[in-house]
Amino acid sequence: MKTKAFIIILFTSTTIFSQKFEGLAKTPPMGWNSWNKFACQVDEKLIRETADAMVSSGMKDAGYQYINIDDCWQGKRDSLGFIHPDPERFPSGMKNLADYIHSKGLKFGIYSDAGWKTCGGRAGSRGYEFQDAMTYARWGVDYLKYDWCNTEGLNAEGAYLTMREALYSAGRPIVFSICEWGGNKPWDWGKSIGHLWRTTGDISNCFDCIVDHGSWKSWGVMQILDMQEGLRVHAGPDHWNDPDMMEVGNGMTNNEDRAHFSMWCMLSAPLIAGNDLRNMSESVTNILTNKKVIAVNQDKLGIQAFKHSAEDSLEVWYKPLSDNEWAVCFLNRSTTPKSFEYIWKQKQIEDNFSSRELNVKDIEYNILDLWINNNLGTTNNNLSYEIPAHDVLMVRLIPIP
């Protein structure tokens, strides 16, 4: 009599998560986004012309890569649930637009929302995350800004994790920008999910103000700067604090634009321009393309600056750089000029987070003014300077061998 052996194999069910695409943002992303200047007034003509202007203005040569369409590009979903662009605004389709942007040596970004609808009332990605991710991959998208409107009942970390999974499953490396506004502390959980996360609500094109929209507020440059307190320990290569897109060229004074840009570079913030690149003044172009200031932002250490002191509306910020160099930014928040004398020999700068020390007693540094490209002497001498209202003095300290 033959016997049969029965082998029972027990499978344990485990959930296998994927990951974000690593290494896409080793330095803060640089690019342009349509929202601050154009809001919902976007179409393919604007986007093509902006890509052309990014090249012709010198911004591409300065390091800018991304052309990002924000809200209101969406049309309707088809019978299978796949999203299509608005046929009147983008008649050639997103794949053709992406191909055009790529032909310029640039990268293509797009926008969606974790809720049922976007902030502009278009179709959001809730319930369609994997379909949308496949669509973006097919179009050739390189960057996704993912907003947080109309998300009633959703857990923020879970919602962004779902889209991270969808993007990874689609197979195309895409920078993932978490635009959750900071309400659920994305700096605590965003590192493994996205490449950058918004730390605040929306910026406004003013230097020092709060704009009340009734049910929500937008913030001036100085208000957003103050909101970064305590967050630098969460930022670094491939995971950045994002204090929102820039307002350079959108109506502030030249001094204010320069201060705004300088502080975003000191913060290791993503440098996402928000102005009309097709019609920039020479001064705005010079601010956005200053390679010496941008180099501070793009430094490979990826260490965010810290505020060392604040007295009589004059703040002093320090940022450790590679090769034992430092960036120092003197910010005048006042509406009047500020004169000061800075005695380097009295400063003992220690940054426990980066384990870096600036010891001017033992090491002499050259002082390079990054905006006028002028040597201001060395740290063996006191620095005397007057900073105009709402402006900065931004320098790089370079050790003398």
Q: What positions carry a catalytic annotation?
A: 147, 202
Distance CA 302, CA 294 (A): 13
Distance CA 213, CA 226 (A): 20
End-to-end CA distance of the chain: 92
What sign for the dihedral angle of Cα 239, 125, 94, 204? negative
Characterise 329 by phi-psi region: left (phi > 0), alpha (psi -120 to 50), beta (else): beta
Residues paired with 85 in a beta bridge = 74
Which pair of structure tokens corresponds to residue 388?
């105009």
Q: Strands, E, within 220-333: which ranges?
A: 240-242, 271-273, 306-311, 314-320, 326-332
Contacts of residue 350, defined as CB under 8 A and 6 or more positions apart, other chains included, come to 356, 357, 358
**How many of the other CB atoms lie within 10 Å of CB of 17?**
10
Q: Which of 82, 67, 76 is nearest to 35 (CA)?
A: 67
φ/ψ (deg, to 5) at 382: -70, 150
Distance CA 84, CA 107 (A): 20
Q: Which of 144, 208, 216 is nearest to 182 (CA)?
A: 216
As a whole number of angstroms, the longest Cα–Cα distance in the chain is 104
Distance CA 264, CA 267 (A): 5
Which pair of structure tokens corresponds to residue 181?
């506004």
> 284-319 in b/e burial notation, b at 16+ Cβ within 10 A?
bbebbbbeebbebbbbebbbbbbbeeeeeebbbbbb
- Alpha-helical segments (H) within 328-391: none
Confirm if 296 and 370 have CB atoms less than 8 A apart: yes
Residue in the block written with tokens 């500020």:
338
